[in-house]
Amino acid sequence: MDFAAASGIDVFSPVSHTLFDPAEIIEKLVFSFGKWKNGGRPPVTYQAFVAVAGQPPEPVMEEYSELPPVGDTGEYELLPVPKVEELGYGDISQEELSPFRGGETEALKRMRESLHDKEWVAKFEKPKGDPSAFLKPATTVLSPYLKFGCLSSRYFYHCIQDIYRSTKKHTNPPVSLIGQLLWRDFFYTVSFGTPNFDRMKGNRICKQIPWTENEELFLAWRDGRTGYPWIDAIMIQVLTRHR
């Protein structure tokens, strides 16, 4: 940004990865109902987050077919998309790549396919989904597209709301599709406003566990010999897959 500013280029960096600006959510909590509260900390419960969040801003709906002119001459150069080999991944065949193709075009295509069944959208209820479903997943499988910015969370939210308005009845947060997007924003807000959120030490909302180093217990966990059937079954499955 400093380089751009030195070159006379105005840089505008909107918060667009989430439905809400995490800083604004925390600010709402700081001064709520006419009094200071929460000490400037983020909401640590879903209910507290939803209570202050409100409705997200409308998404940008304009579609662009060409780039705006750059520089005084109005000329610009479109660089080609680099090949996988040029990114340093070597010679990777198509069969070894993930079946999930990237990009906005693919993201929008998958979103429209997921939302085509309006009854499914209206009745979506997360706890009742089957996480092991494969041929027809229990969710939209749009998380990676939201994560990498291929799909706008606000646009997704807007499209779901359009379907809700066209149906007589639908599920509500926290179990609905809208509820899942709110869960996503809730965790983004908590992580944004909590120092050391990704670790235990120095994290005020994480339980401080007195971990010990015991080689015998570690090997029992690694080899599926803890005596806890659920834990051992998982570890044995992991070991089998890596042999």
Q: Tell me the average confidence (pLDDT) per consecutive run of 10 residues in the chain, 243 residues long.
A: 78 86 86 56 90 88 66 61 76 62 92 95 90 80 94 96 95 96 96 94 93 93 95 92 70
* Residue tagged 């044995």 (tokens): 236
Give the count of domains, the chain. Answer: 1
Is 241 contained in some domain? yes
Q: Could you list the residue range(s) of the whole structural domain that residue 221 is in?
A: 212-243
Q: What pLDDT, on the 0 to 100 scale, is given for residue 86? A: 80
Binding residues for FAD: 139-143, 180-187
Is 238 contained in some domain? yes
d(CA 193, CA 28): 13
Identify the helix (H) or strand (E) that includes residue 163. Answer: helix 153-165
Q: What pLDDT, on the 0 to 100 scale, is given for residue 9? A: 80
Q: What pLDDT, on the 0 to 100 scale, is given for residue 92? A: 60
Q: What pLDDT, on the 0 to 100 scale, is given for residue 34? A: 53
Q: What pLDDT, on the 0 to 100 scale, is given for residue 186? A: 97
Is 220 contained in some domain? yes
Is 207 contained in some domain? no
Binding residues: 139-143, 180-187
Question: Of 112, 217, 233, 118, which Cα lies nearest the Cα of 164?
Answer: 118
Is 235 contained in some domain? yes
Is 225 contained in some domain? yes
Q: What pLDDT, on the 0 to 100 scale, is given for residue 69? A: 63
Q: What pLDDT, on the 0 to 100 scale, is given for residue 192? A: 94
Is 204 contained in some domain? no
d(CA 171, CA 162): 14
Is 239 contained in some domain? yes
